[in-house]
Chains A and B, each alone.
Chain A
Amino acid sequence: MSEAGELTVTLLRYGFLVLLWILVLSTVSALRRDLAVGQRNKTGTPTAREARKHPELIQEAPPSRVQAHQLVVTEGPLTGTTLELTSSPILLGRAQEATLVLEDDYASGRHARLFPQGSRWFVEDLGSTNGTFLAGSQLTRALPVEPGVPIRIGKTVIELRP
C-alpha cells in the first residue's frame, strides 16, 4: 500500500476512536439537563424567558379575590334554593345521598360534584348520562368555577355567588 494510503488508513482508525468518544460525549451533553443538580434545572417558577416561550407554563389567572360563599339554583324545579358553601365537597344528583338532591329527570343519580381546592371551587362530572355544562361547554375534566358562571345539569342551572 502506498504511503499516502497508509496515512489515510491510520487517520481513519484514529478518527474512529474520536468518533466513538464524540458519540459518548454528545450523549452525555444531551443529558446534562438531567444530570445537573439544582438551580436552573427543573423545579421552581419559570423564568420570564421560559414563560415567554412557553405560555402554558404560567398557571391560569390568579384566583379571583371574590370568594364564593353560596350556591344558588337559578333555573329548574328547585329555582331559588340556596346552599351555604362550607369546606366540604358537594354532590349534585338525584340520589338520596346527594348534598343537593335534584328533582330533575335529566339528572343522573350521582351527577356532578363541586369541591374546594385552594381558594377556588371546582366542578367535576361524575360520569353522568346527560353531561354537565359549565358556561355552555360540556365538562371533560374538573374545571374551576368562578362566581356567576352558570353550571347546567339537566334542566337545572346553578351558580356560585359571593
Chain B
Amino acid sequence: MSDVLTVAKSRRNVEALLLLVAFAVAVGANYIAGLDREEPFNPYFWAQASTFVGMGLLIHIILRVRAKYADPVILPIVLALNGIGLAMIHRLDLPRIDDAAFTPVAQQQLLWTGVAISAAAVLLVFLKDHRILRRFTYISLIVSAVLLLLPLTPLGLEINGARIWISVGIGTFQPGEVAKITLAVFFAGYLSTNRDLILLAGKKIGPLQLPRFQDLAPMVAAWFVSIGVLIFQRDLGSSILFFGLFMAMIYVATSRVSWVLIGLALIGVGGYFALQLFSHVALRFDSWINAFDPEVYNRAPGGSGQVVQGLFGLGSGGLAGTGLGQGRPDLVTYANSDMIIAALGEELGLIGICAIVMLYVLLVSRGFRAALGTKDGFGKLLACGLSFTIALQCFVVIGGITRLIPLTGLTTPFMSAGGSSLLANWLIVALLLLISEAARRPAPSGPMTSPFPDPPGVGGHPTPGHPTEATR
C-alpha cells in the first residue's frame, strides 16, 4: 500500500478569508450599481447585504460542522457570482423604478437567493453522504420525467413560444432546471453500475468499439428527452444542455470516442429535422448568421435585434467598461436574464467579464477536481456531470451573446433573474461541496487489505476440527 502522506487540512480558514473578499464584491457591486440613482444605504441595500453575509456565514458554519474538508473556494466564488448578478438585476430595475406598472425584479431575486441558499443548507445538513443518492437512481429518472412533462400539463405556461414554465401559486417555476440534477443523478447511478457491461460488450469496427444495441438504451433515452424537449417545449437551450450532459457523462464513464461520435450523429440528425420542421430553430440560425441584416434585425419574432444590441453594448463597454450604473444595458430586451452577460460586459468591460469567466472556470475546475479526488464511481460521475452542466450553460450563454453560436435561451448560472435556475444551481453547489468533502477527507487508516478467509484446507490450513493438530 503506497500511502500519500499529506497533512489533512480542513482549510476552512482560507474559505473564511475568501468569503470576506466575496462579500466585499457582492455588497460593493450592489452599492456602486445604485450610486447615483438612488439613496445610498437604503433598506434594499441592507436587505441585500444582510442576506449575503448572513447566508454566506450560515453555509460556512454548516461546512465547519458537517463537511470540514469540503473545497474552500467553491462557496466564495458562487456567492460573488450571485452577488454580481443580483447587483446587475437591481441596477437594471433602477431606470424603470418610477413606472407604476413595473414590479422590481431584484427584490424577488433576493428572496429567491435566500430560498436557494437555505435549500443548499438543508441539503448539506440532511444529506450526509452523496452516495445515498445512488439508491434513488431509478426514482430520479421517474422524477426527471415528471418534471419535464409538467410544463405540458395544464399547469404549464407558455412564455415567448417556449413552454418550459409551470405556475405555482406565487409565481412561475422552471422544472427543467431541477430536472438536470435528477438526470445527472440517474446517469451517474446507471453508468457507475453498468459501466463494465457497456465497455466490454460490442463489436469492434476499425478503431471504433461499437456498443451493443441494448447498451444504447440510455443514449436513446437521452436523445428522446432532448428531442422531446425541443419539439414539445420548443426550448433549444435546455435540449442542448440535457444532451450535452448525457454525452459528457457517457464519455467520462467509458472514455470511448465511439459514444461521442454516435451522440453527435444522433444530435445531427435530430438537429437537421428540427431545422426543417420547426420555424423557431430555423429563425435562430438565420438571426445568428445574418445578424446584421436590417431585415433580420427588425423581424418581429426571432429577429436578431437582441443579440446585436448586446454586441453594441459589449462594444461600447470596451476594455474597462462604462462603470457599473453608467451604461445603457437596459436597452437590450431581457437584459436581466438571458442577456445579463452582455449587460455586465458593457458596464465592467473586458477586464470585468474576464474576471467573471475566470470565476466560472475556477468553479468548474473545482468540480472536476472533486470528481478526480473522490473514490466512488458514482460520486465521480455525478461531480463531473454537475460541473459540466455549469460549464456548458456558461458556454451556450456567453457563446450566444458573443455570436459564437446561435443564441438560445439558457440562464447564466447564479446570475440570471430566475428563481428556479438559482435554486437548482445552489443545490448543485451543495452536492459539489459534499463530493469534494468526500474527496478531501483523510481516509481512516488501518490495514484491512489482505483477503480472508482462504477456503479451508487451502494455503496450509490444518484440517478443521482438530485443534491439537495445529501443534505441528
Contacts and interface: CB of A to CB of B under 8 A. Distances in A.
A81 B471 contact: yes
Interface string A4-35: 00000110111111011111101110110010
Interface in A60-100: 78, 81-84, 86, 88-89, 91, 96-100
What is the predominant secondary structure among interface residues of chain A facing chain B? mixed
Contact of B4 (A13, A24, A42, A122): A42
A143 B456 CA distance: 25
A75 to B, nearest CB: 15
Contacts of A84: 472
A19 B355 CA distance: 10
B467 A89 contact: no
Determine which residue in A10, A23, A103, A117 has the highest number of CB atoms from chain B within 10 A of its CB, and name it: A23
B212 to A, nearest CB: 39
Interface in B146-205: none
Interface size class of A (residues with CB under 8 A): 35 or more
B358 interface: yes
B324 A24 contact: no
B261 to A, nearest CB: 33
Given A82-B471, A91-B452, A19 B462 contact: no
A100 B459 contact: no
A106 to B, nearest CB: 16
B214 interface: no
B452 A19 contact: no
B425 to A, nearest CB: 18
Interface residues of B, number: 61
**Do most interface residues of chain B lie in helix, strand or loop, or is the interface mixed?**
loop
Contacts of B11: 30
A19 B22 CA distance: 9
B206 interface: no
B452 A42 contact: no
B348 to A, nearest CB: 6
B359 A96 contact: no
A53 B178 CA distance: 46
Contacts of B355: 17, 20-21, 23-24
Nearest to A54: B7
B467 A23 contact: no
A49 to B, nearest CB: 11
B467 A27 contact: no
B43 interface: no
Contacts of B328: none
Contact of A81 (B36, B323, B453, B467): B467
A99 B324 contact: no
**Interface core residue of A1, A24, A84, A116 (most chain B CB under 10 Å):** A24
Contacts, number: 145
A113 interface: yes
Residue among A27, A97, A99, A113 facing the most chain B CB atoms (10 A cut-off): A27
A43 interface: yes
B132 interface: no
B5 A44 contact: yes
A31 B461 CA distance: 53
Given A16-B324, A50-B7, A89-B452, A23 B28 contact: no
A74 to B, nearest CB: 14
A45 interface: yes
Given A96-B464, A113-B452, A24 B362 contact: yes
A135 interface: no
B446 A142 contact: yes
B35 to A, nearest CB: 6
Given A20-B352, A57-B7, A27 B77 contact: yes
B18 A27 contact: yes
- Most chain A beta-carbon neighbours within 10 Å: one of B351, B448, B453: B453
A113 B461 CA distance: 13
Given A89-B450, A115-B450, A27 B362 contact: yes
A141 B446 contact: yes
A17 B350 CA distance: 10
B76 interface: yes
Given A13-B324, A16-B324, A27-B362, A103 B471 contact: no
A34 B186 CA distance: 30
B7 A9 contact: no
B409 to A, nearest CB: 27
Contacts of A22: 21
Contacts of B7: 46, 50, 53-54, 57
A95 B247 CA distance: 52
Interface in A110-127: 110, 113, 115-117, 122, 124
Contacts of B321: 13, 17
B323 A10 contact: yes
Most A CB within 10 A of own CB, among B17, B454, B461: B461
A20 B35 contact: no
Nearest to B24: A19
B405 to A, nearest CB: 25
Contacts of B21: 19, 22-23, 26
Contacts of B32: 9, 12-13, 16
Contact of B362 (A28, A42, A82, A102): A28
Given A20-B84, A20-B356, A53-B7, 9 more contacts: A9-B36, A13-B323, A23-B355, A30-B72, A50-B7, A91-B453, A96-B464, A96-B465, A142-B448
Interface of A: 1, 9-10, 12-17, 19-24, 26-28, 30-31, 34, 42-46, 50, 53-54, 57, 78, 81-84, 86, 88-89, 91, 96-103, 110, 113, 115-117, 122, 124, 141-142
9 contacts: A9-B36, A13-B326, A20-B348, A23-B22, A31-B362, A83-B471, A89-B452, A101-B466, A117-B449
**3 closest Cβ pairs, A-B complex:** A13-B323, A20-B355, A141-B446
